[in-house]
Structure 1
Amino acid sequence: MKQIKKPLALALALLMFFLPIFMINPGQAQAVSPALNLDVKSAIMVEATTGKILYKYNENQALPPASMTKMMTEYLVLDAIKKKKITWDQKVTVDDYGAFLGKSGSSGVYLAKGDVHTVKELYEAMAIYSANDATVMLAETVAGSENEFVKLMNQKAKEFGMTQTYFANSTGLPLADLKAFAPESADRDTVMSARDAAILAKELITQHPEVLETTKIPRKIFREGTPQALKMDNWNWMLPGLVKQYKGVDGLKTGHTNAAGFCFTGTAERNGVRLITVVMGTKSFVSRFTETSKLLDYGFSNYKMQPLLAQGAQISGGENAKVNKGTAKEVAAVTSKQVLYPVKKGEEGAYKPKAVLQEVTAPVKQGQAVGYVKVVGPNGKSDEFLRPIDEQKAGGTLVAKEEVEEAGWLRLAFRAFFGFIGDIFSSLGNMIKGWFS
């Protein structure tokens, strides 16, 4: 009996070891996370332009994000500015809610009821100093109430594919701290995963890159030139001139509550490589920056942006896209821009572009999308990305090199007729060939 148990135990041990390997999607390479010894609850690092994951740890667990919540508030404010729903110089009068947070003891710029400030002043207070009182005033300005603003936040999170996120308010504060001002629709506190925070950061700096012009400011004066002037030191101590400065850092958002611990979504650029990092649940104010430095050190030391294709290039085996109802049956497919892709140093030759084409219907305009570039990595596998849409966009778009006009009915009729005749002769040829084979 003992002789049977020993081989059985060995077989079970081998099964447990190899089972995770068998479960990996054979068409996708998983992001290999090096041993960085991070002291965090969760973390992720991605290349910012593609969303390719370079490091991950417990990245899908929903956790309290604290003031990293404000990245969505920043996005929606900048969106409202872009769509001209509000303006930078628009005046905002502080109400009871703003005044309540102004004296609540949380991060803020001590707003008082009846104070008047511009949207720009409040936005800078939020983005630089993480001011909760300024944040709720911006939320109300954009949507009429924080309750309505939160609906916009959750709607946008769904659009972005943030599957492990729920927004309860615009600030990330625990609902209990808001007392009577807590949004009536909120039934639980805000949560977000590290992956979702990276998705949000990527959308924010991609759609509104101007955000970095504010988040990179290390210090600013609120109410400058008045007796109530307040010095705002950026809570992101990795900015130049601050305690934990790190070359290339220009954002993005810190966060802290008792439940969340110390969190940080950072971004930095060096030598044409922009990285986004997220650490959640670190143990001290400084440790979130120490752990982020470990990620950035690894990322910048090991990865580079590799040119794979020039603008206007064609891909072997995918030179032409099919055209339906056009004067031509095909159109040349070329890259819309230079294809740059993040690769690990030493693996520059391991990545190859592949054309994924779609049939288009005439008329086709020059520059019209006809497919995309799929980047295939070592052993023919794809890398891991934040979302499927990021993988699809990572290699860029293939576009029509020239116009293709819509064919007239007579040409289409002749084409259909001769195609029909061709099919008949092809079938007869195959039949005769079969008789003598």
Structure 2
Amino acid sequence: MTEAPLSPGYPASVVGGELRLPKPPGVVRQFWGRHPRLTDALIAALYFVPTLLGTLSFAFEPSGPFWLGLAQLGSVAASAAAMLYRRTRPWLLMGVGWFSCLVIYPLGSIDLFPVLVALYALAVYRSTRAAWVGFGASVVVGTASAYLSVAAQADDMVSPFDIGAPESATQYAIFMLIATLIGVTVGNRRRYLNALIARAHDLARERDQQALLATAVERSRIAREMHDVVAHSVTVMVTLAEGSAATAERDAARAGEAMRLVADTGRGALAEMRRMLGILAESESRDAARSPQPGTADLPELIEGFRGAGMPVRLTTIGRPDADPALELTIYRIVQEGLTNTLRHAAAASRVEVTIEYRGDATEVLVVDDGHAPSTTQVEGSGRGLIGMRERVALYSGSLEAGPRTGGGWRLRVVLPRDERAAIPTISEVDA
């Protein structure tokens, strides 16, 4: 993973693809941004070479002590070495510069360049607060160094400008202020740019996470719809096929009729699966993609299919149905799954009641059977149906109750809240 060209240390790619960032202006700037160590080495060399030559010109004068020349050379070398770590350890460079100003250069010539570089580094690579703290302390050190130089050399003039201590201290403060202001400006821009890049990475990461969540939700929805179609149709087909096999020798005509119902159920399941896949596949025909999802108007046909499998079902609707296609699909799938579970686990039930009540504040779906024991044609389920129903009910902040009845059988009750609206009290029944 590469680093962002505008912000070293931040990756240029995130989960799900590369985060494209604008290139910084100028080829030279891009080169120095990619080689920070080379930049620091050149700065240290530009300081070390001329300062070393200038120090050698008067460090070993006959009038001066030999140890002072060595101290000055050591101070120059230490400052140059500390400049190599100005990005990671600016306080180290600052400490070396202060030591030189207070101990070494008052005996010779004051050198503020390491302090100026340290102030800039503090503002850029640490914080604005650290830069101003360093500036305040450096002003005190520079002023003290000017007066120490006057005292040590017994001369009212401070080298190398040959001016008085107050004037020298003022000039040092101005130079330090300029270095600090430049560093604060560059540092604030750098931190602002890093914050923008970090925010862009966060947004890109959030985008990828949202895409993954959307994919997971869509997979769950597809799995739920496929389960409702396949589980219902296969359960009906298995029940009809086993019933046909049991009556083939006694009543061939009835067995043939059962097998025709198996074929019709299979064709219906294939048609519904093609419709669902047509929504997902762009290459499918427009008719398949535009085919409507089943609703409450298709419940009588669904009931007839279960009756063909031998289940005595009674459907009762109370109130005025909603005109919401999504809610109608939810009701249809709940009834379908409830009857499929009854056919799978209690096909011997003598009565199955399906009641749909449309009230002003909610829609209630009730599926009740009186099965006492599992049938001989019981089909094992995966448990996905109940999970799918709970997911559908959760979309409407509804409630689902499923469990055995006191007198035997099974009871499924679902309540789906809705907006209050006027309801026309009508009752319709489809009897077995």
Task: Please indicate the TM-score interval, normalised by the length of the shorter structure.
Answer: under 0.3
Which has the higher relative contact order, 1 or 2, with Cα contacts under 8 A spaced 6 or more apart? 1
Looking at secondary structure, tell me which structure has more helix per residue: 2
Structure (1 or 2) with the greater strand fraction: 1
Larger radius of gyration between Structure 1 and Structure 2: 2
TM-score normalised to structure 1 length: 0.24
> What TM-score do the two structures reach when normalised by structure 2?
0.24
